[in-house]
A and B are shown apart, each in its own frame.
Chain A
């Protein structure tokens, strides 16, 4: 049944509102970052400055520790994404394909970890990790973030595995494949979108985390980007241009990663494995 043009007008208008709402804050961030200092106040609410410059970006990249913070964040987020996706795929597969003693207890444990305020872990975590040499260390952050993200990532991976019919791997196993062989050759390729989505979630979460990074890694050498930006804000709190330039830089990897994986986010829960 073809829809009426009126429907599509409303459809597109509503969507444009969504797009405007989604993009405007990011646009404004970029705009102020590109506005030279002398125009910042005189042209405060103009939609585009009369001339743009990259001076704030140049300052942030050459006269600050941001390249170091950037590198630290990249290392932490990438390692966390890889590790958390690995352990959660295994766990999600186990939950999806087996019934075993203690399964519901495990699920309950993971749900509990999603419930309590992580803030309350800051103090004990600090005390437990310090003797192990895991404070002021990127490794420490990776371990902590992997643990924080693995329950949600597990649920996510489990839902992707659940969507793949058991018959597929059962057929492979009847044909003589081991369960692991079936997992590697049949299940894994079908869950690639799920793996992409999961690692995307985890990467973004690790890139954004502020509280534990602030508490556990106090030295500038091991600071991640959020910690660096916040200390920058408190140190140069009047220099909006530079702050926003740093903000735009913090956006880049998260957005790139997101754009790469976003089409896998929704599409292809089953990717047509059974149908057809």
Chain B
């Protein structure tokens, strides 16, 4: 497997050395452009942004910029909106990711069989993924708006809600709006990921299991699930972090309101940065989110490693 492809008995020592040197440099040539880009455009600004968390930096105040140590973090500890935003982030992320995943996996299992019209159905159900996220937000905002949207009237007619008011203007329910929009938009992501993983499972395994008398459920439990698990774990890990950081839908649909009731940490960063133009405090909030996500990611990676080791 790992044999050096450049070995050749007739080559002289010198060219062999030269080729080894060239092939040693080769991977760096391939990876350099991406490395350069992410260092220059993401990591350097990230470092600069982290330093903002310890500075008094207001966009409109040219005299601000002084180093203020941990003042922002002290402020953060007593910030009620931030505390609510933490809870909202947990609700928003768990609800969005788990619904996206369950519905996406279900869809992938349905699409993993051959049937007439599969191509068309697949194109149609994957379509939401192509919709730009700001438009997803606007579209669902309009659907929940009783003036032009049908949803409030339908929910009222089904006695699910007590009136035909806008769900998004009720502080207790408003977060449901962005979650529904996120689920609608995110199902195809998981369906595509799971379907790709499903199709890479050799069909022979199922045939062998069927010959051994395993039923559909037994096949799912003992073949599909274990072979899908690594893919599932890594895509849930990435997706959870992504969704927790994802502010667009909330910003577009509710702007964190009414009265900051739907503010997640990510949308709160946005609000502080763009409404208050307080980049220092916004960076402090972002740093807190970064730390939380970091802890989360380490936890998941450890879990996955343990899982893979048990499987091996």
Residues of A within 8 A of B (CB): 1, 8, 11, 14-15, 18-19, 21-23, 25-26, 28-29, 32, 40-41, 44-45, 87-88, 90-91, 93-95, 97-100, 103, 106, 109-125, 127-128, 143-144, 146-148, 150-151, 154, 163, 166, 170, 173-174, 179, 204, 207-208, 210-211, 215, 225-226, 229-230, 233, 240, 243-244, 247, 250-251, 254-255, 257-259, 262-263, 265-267, 269-270
A116 to chain B, nearest CB (A): 5
Beta-carbon contacts under 8 Å, B212-246 to A:
238, 241-242, 245
Cβ-defined contact, A144 with B134, below 8 A = no
A103 to B287, CA, bound (A): 27
If A90-B33, A100-B27 touch, whether A123 touches B192 (CB-CB below 8 Å) is: no
Closest residue of B by beta carbon distance from A149: B37
B-side binding surface: helix, strand, loop or mixed?
helix
Give 1 or 0 for each of B115-149: 1 = CB within 8 Å of chain A CB. 10001011111111111111110111011000111
Cβ-defined contact, B150 with A28, below 8 A = yes
Q: Given B26, B50, B57, B103, which contacts A179 in the complex, CB threshold below 8 Å? A: B26
Beta-carbon contacts under 8 Å, B71-127 to A:
103, 106-107, 110, 113, 115, 119, 121-127
Cβ-defined contact, B31 with A95, below 8 A = yes
Residues of B within 8 A of A (CB): 1-3, 5, 23-24, 26-31, 33-35, 37-46, 48-50, 52, 57, 59, 103, 106-107, 110, 113, 115, 119, 121-136, 138-140, 142-143, 147-150, 153-154, 184, 187, 192, 195-196, 199-200, 210, 238, 241-242, 245, 247-248, 252, 266, 269-270, 273-274, 279, 282-283, 286-287, 289-290, 293-294, 297
If A98-B26, A263-B119 touch, whether A113 touches B199 (CB-CB below 8 Å) is: no
Q: Which residues of A contact B27 (CB under 8 A)?
A: 94, 97-98, 100, 103
Q: Which residues of B contact A255 (CB under 8 A)?
A: 127, 130-131
Cβ-defined contact, B133 with A150, below 8 A = no
Of B45, B153, B270, chain A has the most CB atoms within 10 Å of the CB of B45
Q: Which residues of A contact B247 (CB under 8 A)?
A: 117, 119, 211
A113 to B31, CA, bound (A): 16
If A90-B31, A100-B27, A114-B238 touch, whether A123 touches B59 (CB-CB below 8 Å) is: yes
Q: Given B119, B140, B252, which contacts A25 in the complex, CB threshold below 8 Å? A: B140
Closest residue of B by beta carbon distance from A207: B132
B248 to chain A, nearest CB (A): 6
A100 to B33, CA, bound (A): 16
Closest residue of B by beta carbon distance from A183: B30
Q: Which residues of B contact A40 (CB under 8 A)?
A: 148
A211 to B24, CA, bound (A): 41
B203 to chain A, nearest CB (A): 11
Q: Given B42, B148, B283, which contacts A44 in the complex, CB threshold below 8 Å? A: B148
Cβ-defined contact, B38 with A117, below 8 A = no
Q: Given A11, A150, A170, A266, which contacts B5 in the complex, CB threshold below 8 Å? A: A170
What are 24 pairs between A and B in contact, CB < 8 Å?
A11-B110, A14-B106, A18-B103, A22-B128, A28-B139, A32-B142, A45-B150, A45-B153, A113-B42, A114-B242, A116-B293, A117-B289, A119-B247, A120-B46, A122-B273, A226-B132, A229-B138, A254-B130, A258-B127, A258-B130, A259-B123, A266-B195, A269-B199, A269-B200
Which 9 A-B residue pairings sit nearest by Cβ, starting from the closest?
Answer: A94-B30, A147-B41, A258-B130, A120-B286, A208-B132, A98-B27, A124-B48, A91-B34, A124-B45
A10 to B43, CA, bound (A): 50
Cβ-defined contact, A113 with B282, below 8 A = no
Extra inter-chain contacts (16) besides given A18-B125, A109-B43, A120-B50, CB under 8 Å: A18-B187, A25-B143, A28-B142, A44-B150, A87-B34, A90-B31, A99-B2, A121-B45, A124-B45, A125-B45, A127-B48, A163-B200, A226-B135, A229-B138, A267-B199, A269-B199
Closest residue of A by beta carbon distance from B297: A115
